[in-house]
Amino acid sequence: MRIDAVDFFYASMPDVTLEADGSQDALLVRVSAGGYVGWGECEASPLVSVAAFITPRSHGVCQPVEASVLGEELDGPDDIRRIASLVERNSMDLLQAAHTFSGIEIALWDLLGRAREQPVWQLLGYERAYSKTPYASILFGDTPADTYAHGVAAVARGFNAFKFGWGPFGTGTVAADADHLQAAREAIGSDRHLLVDAGQIFGADVDAAAERLGALEAASVMWLEEPFRASEFDAYAALAARATTVRLAGGEGAHEEAMARNLLKYGHVGFLQIDTGRIGGIAPAKRVADLAAQAGITFVNHTFTSHLALSASLQPFAGLADHRICEYPAEPKQLAVDITSNHLLPDADGEIHVPDAPGLGVEVDLDALAPYLRSIDISVDGETLYSSPQSGRVLLG
């Protein structure tokens, strides 16, 4: 098969707020080859990602991503890896290239799985896919009472693990953070997992993060996620040395495989979280998952948007039986819900299952997405470089 087309669909809520909620807009990628179609999702600024695909070349290693994708052969997993290498080389100085290609790479796996009538996890070499324990990924409330209410609502939906993140955590006093942590713990009960996402609020300030360790441990928090900026490996290691029962988690900011390896090697994290929509797609995430398993570190997916992105994020560790906990977008905006017509819902035991259908096993619903779609026209000196697709209706292979 030859890659015939790559189309982007930029969708957005009518009003995008300053809350740390990545489900307020989306960039879907549709790849066509050999009569088949695959879908992916980028986790980055939509317009910047589209621009990285079509921007005029600056020089030999600052080419648009399309130069390494369109017209390429796609007949097996090795071709996806080969195309990834082309993008890495040809777009070396185009910093958004990894984010743009992540969505394309996911779509390539989806397309290949549909063509071969195999789920992506099987194409990756796994013999079976294990169920995962989803944690409800929600934001801290403005007040401890709001945090408590969010937790109670999530418990009512049958989750057994919960992650509270961002919001006011780390922006005020240690006592204020302790109140939120206790509210979260009281809401979910003593027998469920409680996780905390600091959203890089401490930068590289180990002392400020360490001041919260007592409150985190008093609330029996299992992990503290992203206390520092993504590449502050020394800070991660220093805080890990000062913690007792709380382990550190991080990795969602890795936009290349080496960043994840360095966090694994130097950051002393207990949980390595990777976003397939950022790191370059499914294949590099799978390699990182293998490294984490070899090192005795728990691999965790990162995703906060649609079930298309959720399915993609589960594929790299679908076959790892001992790596069970996974992020689950519990309170996404309606835009993210409407992206697919089917969803990965927890079963009676609170577990979710990686789809056993061809490709990613989820179906994009452009009709439902239509109210959110934004029209893109990019031109230079009167020459149109990109226009949004005129019609979203394509016969799936």
Residue 107 scores a pLDDT above 70: yes
392 in a structural domain:
no
Same domain for 250 and 304, yes or no, is yes
Number of domains in the chain: 2
Phi, psi of 197 (to 5 degrees): -115, 110
351 in a structural domain:
no
Percent of the chain surpassing pLDDT 70: 98
Q: Is 34 within 8 Å of 74 (Cβ atoms)? A: yes
Same domain for 128 and 242, yes or no, is yes
Same domain for 101 and 220, yes or no, is no
pLDDT tens readout for residues 11-69:
999 988 888 788 889 999 999 999 999 999 999 899 999 999 999 999 999 999 999 99
Distance CA 155, CA 103 (A): 32
Same domain for 251 and 367, yes or no, is no
Residue 221 scores a pLDDT above 50: yes
Distance CA 95, CA 20 (A): 23
pLDDT value of residue 390: 64
pLDDT value of residue 338: 95
Location of structure tokens 């996890």? 121
pLDDT tens readout for residues 140-188:
999 999 999 999 999 998 899 999 999 999 999 999 999 999 999 999 9
Cβ-count burial of 33 within 10 angstroms (0-12 exposed, 13-18 middle, 19+ buried)? Answer: buried
Same domain for 236 and 324, yes or no, is yes
pLDDT tens readout for residues 178-205:
999 999 999 999 999 999 999 999 999 9
Q: Up-side HSE of residue 61: CA atoms within 13 Å toward CB?
A: 6
Same domain for 299 and 175, yes or no, is yes
Instruction: State the first-to-last Cα distance of the chain, in angstroms, to the nearest integer.
Output: 13
Same domain for 321 and 180, yes or no, is yes
Same domain for 143 and 290, yes or no, is yes
Residue 319 scores a pLDDT above 90: yes
Residue 391 confidence class, pLDDT cut points 50, 70, 90: very low
310 in a structural domain:
yes
Same domain for 103 and 191, yes or no, is no
Domain of 247?
123-338
User: Which of residues 331 and 111 earns the better pLDDT score?
Assistant: 111
300 in a structural domain:
yes
* pLDDT mean across residues, the chain: 94
343 in a structural domain:
no
Same domain for 66 and 166, yes or no, is no
Residue 394 scores a pLDDT above 70: no
Q: Residue 193 is part of a domain; what is its CATH number?
A: 3.20.20.120
Q: How many CB atoms are located within 10 Å of the residue 302 CB?
A: 28
pLDDT tens readout for residues 348-369:
998 999 999 999 999 999 999 9
User: Which SS3 state, helix, strand or coil, does residue 232 take?
Assistant: coil
Distance CA 312, CA 314 (A): 6
Nearest partner of 338 among 310, 302, 306, judged by Cα: 306
Q: Which amino acid is at 277?
A: G
pLDDT mean over 258-276: 97
pLDDT tens readout for residues 373-386:
999 999 999 999 99
71 in a structural domain:
yes
Same domain for 10 and 145, yes or no, is no
396 in a structural domain:
no
pLDDT value of residue 20: 78
Beta-sheet strands, E only, within the chain: 3-12, 25-33, 36-42, 133-139, 161-165, 193-197, 221-225, 247-250, 271-274, 298-301, 325-329, 373-374, 377-380, 383-387
148 in a structural domain:
yes
Residue 94 scores a pLDDT above 60: yes
Q: Residue 26 is part of a domain; what is its CATH number?
A: 3.30.390.10
Same domain for 292 and 373, yes or no, is no
